Amino acid sequence: MKKSRRIDFVRNAPLPLRDGVAPSRVYLPAGSWTTLLDFLVERFGHVPPPVLQGRLERGEIVDEAGVPQASGDSYKGLRWLWYYREVPQEPELPFELPVLFRDKYLVAVDKPHFLASTPGGRYLRETALTRLRQALDMPLLSPIHRLDRDTAGVLLFCADPESRGAYQTLFQTRDVRKEYEALAPLRGDVALPMLRRSLILPRPGHFTMQEVDGEPNSETHIELLTETGGLGLFSLRPRTGRKHQLRVHMSGLGMPICNDSFYPELRPYGESDDFSRPLQLLARAIEFADPISGRARRFESVRRLRCPTTDSTRGA
């Protein structure tokens, strides 16, 4: 079975995992830079040159053999350098990450809102992957799929590097049944249940998505489960996996998911981190035939969505 490139990346790195976080690397192309520092200053334009120089002087940037590089070294291209990415003042997230299932191949967890699936952006250590690698002492644990940071619910990781490809193939071939729940306003002019189909593309100049005219590339089955006080608890079953698909489809119907800071309008930066107002979207369950054991697998979240108006809880 073909090995994961990401796992090989971790295995072959000259630097070990640090607090569950894998090192990063940068490729040095052919070029006319005089020194290594000259290249790094241009490559990482957002980092002050004294910071880069300091990291070199402390031996924090190494080559493939683990040899520390110096700021005055002549530039040599066509190779990789390795380092630990740093995030200043990474906030701590006061949420638990319960393990729903674990065997030699799979780890299923119940991810809380606000916790990223994998390192990126402002978060390195406060991610599901990093927490699990540390808590379970599994440095080669790797993600099989991802959930948006704002979305809570069932998230799967692979414990066996040789088996990751088999599990990822299930998602690529759509042999995984995913069930979500969402709280959103009701509209009397939207006939339910329904299959929402549309063409979802990136919004130019933004990280959000939009529905545009054209051949659909996304499908979501939407059903109303219960209703109270003008809000509905909806079952959402995506048949495709476009970025922000469920949020875009509900917003497009005029029923944006409660506390969505992206749709229909992008709210000011920081509102998405209001822990008292989590996005009311939950990956309720995931179901598939295990490609290794052949067993039927179903993992369900024990979390509940909270009605913003009554602060009550409800679930399937």
Scan for tokens 């229909």, then name that residue. Answer: 264
Q: At what angle do helices 49-57 and 36-43 cross, to 10 degrees?
A: 130
Beta-sheet pairing, 281-289 with 231-238 = unpaired
How many CB atoms are closer than 10 A to CB 48? 11
Look up residue 65 and give its two tokens: 């053999």
Tell me: cis bond preceding 204? Omega within 30 of 0 counts.
no
DSSP letter (8 states) at residue 9: H
Residue whose C-alpha is closest to residue 264's, from 191, 184, 176, 153: 184
- Which backbone phi and psi does 190 adopt, to 5 degrees? -105, 115
Look up residue 188 and give its two tokens: 């009397």
Whether 137 sits among the annotated catalytic residues: the reply is no
Which residues are 297's β-sheet partners? 288
Instruction: Assign 287 to helix, strand or coil.
Output: strand
Side-chain-facing half-sphere of 213: CA atoms under 13 Å: 0
User: Out of 103, 110, 137, 148, which one is annotated catalytic?
Assistant: 148
Separation of alpha carbons 194 and 223, rounded Å: 7
Instruction: Assign 89 to helix, strand or coil.
Output: coil
In 277-314, which positions are buried (b, 16+ CB within 10 angstroms) versus exposed (e)?
A: ebbbbbbbbbebebbeeeeebebbbebebbbeeeeeeb
Q: Which residues are catalytic?
A: 148
